[in-house]
Chains A and B, each alone.
Chain A
Amino acid sequence: KQEVTQIPAALSVPEGENLVLNCSFTDSAIYNLQWFRQDPGKGLTSLLLIQSSQREQTSGRLNASLDKSSGRSTLYIAASQPGDSATYLCAVIGAQGGSEKLVFGKGTKLTVNP
């Protein structure tokens, strides 16, 4: 059974700092990995999707990498801003059996202090 873990559970940084959020998954047979942002009491906003054949994806100040064989992904946020404060979730879709379900980690709660 796929398990997704995100470390740390919470992170507090000063504005302007570059930071890395970590995600690990137990079963490397994934179809893709998606990073989301969740603001308090709100829905999930898709940030980046990496296919299993890709190593990284970039969108603006965000860069996500994937090392499928070791079961790891990182989300790099450059020049962090207070508006980046949110919970960041990673989720994977398994490659076996044509599964469509996203399996989520518990998230990393990021606070960027002005």
Chain B
Amino acid sequence: EPEVTQTPSHQVTQMGQEVILRCVPISNHLYFYWYRQILGQKVEFLVSFYNNEISEKSEIFDDQFSVERPDGSNFTLKIRSTKLEDSAMYFCASSTARQNIQYFGAGTRLSVL
């Protein structure tokens, strides 16, 4: 069964460093999403992406964050200068259509020291 793949599974970084989290969505999906889950808290929406543009973003998704689809298969989330509070599990999701079922990857655990 097709699945969303995320790498790495765990990323450790120093505060102030840039990180790039990578995702390979399901191949025929056109809509892509990033969510995050701080330990013990709810899963929170960050951003949605379609046709090489951000279609919706939350107030969490400030100028420190950016997303890109650098080629036909990858979808990345970049955090320019990480803060301690960016430590969380980051989930990528994809969907065939807007407001359709979203399929999630296994997540990348980001630890900022």
Contacts and interface: CB of A to CB of B under 8 A. Distances in A.
Interface residues of A, number: 24
Given A43-B91, A89-B43, A106-B42, A101 B56 contact: yes
Interface of B: 4, 6, 31, 33, 35, 41-45, 48, 55-56, 58, 91, 93, 98-99, 101-107, 109
Contacts of A91: 43
A102 B35 contact: yes
A72 B109 CA distance: 32
Given A42-B106, A42-B107, A46-B103, A98 B91 contact: no
Contacts of A17: none
Which of B31, B33, B42, B58: most chain A CB closer than 10 A?
A: B42
16 contacts: A31-B99, A43-B4, A43-B91, A44-B91, A45-B104, A46-B102, A46-B103, A89-B43, A99-B56, A100-B33, A101-B45, A102-B43, A103-B45, A104-B42, A104-B43, A105-B42
SS class, residues of chain B in contact with chain A = strand
A44 B4 CA distance: 11
A34 interface: yes
Given A44-B91, A100-B33, A34 B99 contact: no
Given A49-B101, A98-B98, 9 more contacts: A31-B99, A43-B91, A43-B105, A44-B93, A93-B99, A100-B31, A100-B48, A100-B55, A101-B58
Given A31-B99, A100-B55, A43 B42 contact: no
Contacts of A102: 35, 43, 45, 102
Nearest to B98: A100
A65 interface: no
Given A44-B43, A106-B42, A34 B105 contact: no
Interface in A65-114: 89, 91, 93, 98-107
A31 B103 CA distance: 17
